Amino acid sequence: MGEKKSVLYVALDESNHGLFPEVCVAVFSTIPEDAQYQEFFCKGDRRLLCQLPSENRDFRFLFLQKNQVKSDVNNLVLAAPSLVLSYLQEKMHQFELMNLYFDGRLGREERKSLEQEFGKHTARVRARGFIKRWRPHCECARSYVQPHILGIADAKAHELYEEYGLNSSLVDVGKISHNKLVHLLE
């Protein structure tokens, strides 16, 4: 019987509230089932949060300020190196394959750039974007399909947005301390 590949699954999502600071989240997993597609009926399903952190799942987050955003770069693509490299440096584990799942559109050039960036740290990298396309399910509900781990990242982004009161212009994220909080790499 062949040896199992060491695979890291990474899901990236942001709070998408249209104000700054924006919270960007990466969820990491070594559980193959987390890559399986699942139907979701609502955004930010809090029931998924009991799965974080655990022995095989972890997360990192950062706050993205308006002056850090680049008009020609997707916010999650900008935040990804800071979030992912922080995790990889802490774990000190060489994965054979890294699957990156992004909430939203991921262009060909962005995908190539990410695969090149993280290819320095793992043998193979695959990046893919998922657009929430709400589809009619029945008269009373709508749903969308994406990897399970992306649903966890979505729920965590919503939780952090609410926990830190990011809907208020009075919040000073510079004063927030958390062992999973990282800062944007220059």
Distance of alpha carbon 72 from alpha carbon 25, whole angstroms: 20
| 8 Å CB contact between 25 and 57 | no
Mean pLDDT computed over 8-21: 88
| d(C-alpha 33, C-alpha 16), whole Å | 26
**Separate counts of helices (H) and strands (E) for the chain:** 3, 8
Assess whether pLDDT exceeds 60 at residue 3.
no
Give the pLDDT confidence of 94-141 residue by residue, as tens digits: 899 999 999 989 999 999 999 999 998 899 999 999 886 555 554 445
The two structure tokens encoding residue 150: 């992306």
The per-residue pLDDT for 39 is: 76
Give me the half-sphere count of Cα atoms (radius 13 Å) on the Cβ side of residue 141: 8
User: What is the pTM for the complete model shown?
Assistant: 0.88
**Count of all residues that appear for the chain in the document:** 186
Which is nearest to 127 in space by CA: 148, 157, 106?
Answer: 106
DSSP, collapsed to helix, strand or coil, labels residue 12 as: strand
Does 51 score more than 70 pLDDT?
no
**Residue predicted with more confidence, 17 or 119:** 119
Question: Which residues in 88-103 are b (16+ Cβ under 10 Å) and which e?
Answer: beeeeeebeebbbbbb
User: Per-domain residue ranges for the chain?
Assistant: 7-175
Which percentage of the chain shows pLDDT scores above 90? 52
Helix (H) / strand (E) element for 120: namely: none
User: Could you tell me the maximum CA-CA distance found in the chain, to the nearest angstrom?
Assistant: 58
d(CA 56, CA 52): 9
- pLDDT value at residue 43: 58
Task: Give per-residue pLDDT as tens, 147-170.
Answer: 999 989 988 998 999 888 887 777
- Coil vs helix vs strand at 116: helix
CATH number of 7-175: 3.30.420
